[in-house]
């Protein structure tokens, strides 16, 4: 049977439909045909627009839960999940509280040095350009004193860095932890006495140094910046939404 243990989604119509379809998948054999796209849409939510249902399928495909095949005999099928997909879904479905988020941050920070080491070794000019775009969003957010946008831009930067990792295990685990932290964190705050604006300015400088070290392939400077990066952070967890553990 397909394993959707730990799978969680958000609250948009497409995400709600994805969660409902994930529940249906739990009782199906790997490779089973669920029907045509229209049949599956009708079984989940007939009022869902085609665009929203396509987003539903995209979400499920990104989690490795379904495949969509075109042509005669095609349609929506239960995917065979890789160990990495099962791991990511399990992490995203944990029953979350403040201590869980803190633990996820601690583990993610422990992986940061490995992720950044790969980035120093393998990041292309296009990868660095994507990191610079995320940095630009962080700068804009700091200027506008938009703490939430700063936080999301920060996470976007880290996802761009992790995307350069050559190890599927490393990148999948890191990104799954990052998703968990992003979904359940209300804010990140300084562990010290500085104001939020001062804290964000300091964090921006650290991330600028980190991207510069990656661009130059400077492993020593990158490692020192990661160590600085991981100090002085506090997280405030969002209350659990009661995700099921099966």
> Domain locations in the chain?
13-81, 94-237
Q: What is the rounded distance in angstroms from the CA atom of residue 187 to the CA atom of residue 197?
A: 13
Judge contact between 2 and 65, C-beta under 8 A. Answer: yes
pTM: 0.59
Lowest mean pLDDT among 88-92, 147-151, 194-198, 238-242: 238-242
- Residue found by looking up tokens 């089973």 in the block: 32
Residue 147 has pLDDT above 80, yes or no: yes
CATH homologous superfamily of domain 94-237? GntR ligand-binding domain-like (1.20.120.530)
- How many other C-beta atoms are found inside a 10 Å radius of the C-beta of residue 96? 23
Work out the angle between the directed axes of helices 37-45 and 13-25 (0-180°, nearest 10).
100
Write out the H or E segment, with its range, that includes residue 34.
Answer: strand 33-35
| pLDDT attached to residue 215 | 97
Q: What is the rounded distance in angstroms from the CA atom of residue 92 to the CA atom of residue 2?
A: 17
Give the confidence band of 118 by pLDDT, cuts at 50, 70, 90: very high
Lowest mean pLDDT among 64-73, 122-131, 154-163, 180-189: 180-189
Write out the H or E segment, with its range, that includes residue 129.
Answer: helix 125-143
User: Domain 13-81 adopts which CATH fold?
Assistant: Arc Repressor Mutant, subunit A (1.10.10)
| pLDDT attached to residue 39 | 92
């Amino acid at each position: 049977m397909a394993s959707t243990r730990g799978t969680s989604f958000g609250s948009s119509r497409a995400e709600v439909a994805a969660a409902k379809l994930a529940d249906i998948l739990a009782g199906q054999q790997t490779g089973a045909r669920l029907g045509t796209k229209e049949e599956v849409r009708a079984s989940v939510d007939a009022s869902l627009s085609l665009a929203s249902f396509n987003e539903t399928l995209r979400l499920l495909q990104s989690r490795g839960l379904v495949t969509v095949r075109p042509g005669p005999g095609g349609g929506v099928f239960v995917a065979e999940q890789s160990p990495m997909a099962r791991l990511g879904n399990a992490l995203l479905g944990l029953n979350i509280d403040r201590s869980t988020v803190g633990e996820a941050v601690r583990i993610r920070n422990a992986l940061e040095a490995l992720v950044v080491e790969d980035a120093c070794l393998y990041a292309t000019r296009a990868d660095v350009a994507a990191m610079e775009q995320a940095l630009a969003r962080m700068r804009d957010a700091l200027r506008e004193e938009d703490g939430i946008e700063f936080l999301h831009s920060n996470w976007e930067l880290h996802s761009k860095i992790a995307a350069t990792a050559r190890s599927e295990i490393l990148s999948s685990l890191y990104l799954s932890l990052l998703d968990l932290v992003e979904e359940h964190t209300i804010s990140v705050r300084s562990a010290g006495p500085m104001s939020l604006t001062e804290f964000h300015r300091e964090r921006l400088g650290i991330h600028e140094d980190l991207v510069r070290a990656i661009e130059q392939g400077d492993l020593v400077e990158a490692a020192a910046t990661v160590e600085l990066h991981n100090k002085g952070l506090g997280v405030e967890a969002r209350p659990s939404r009661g995700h099921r553990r099966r």
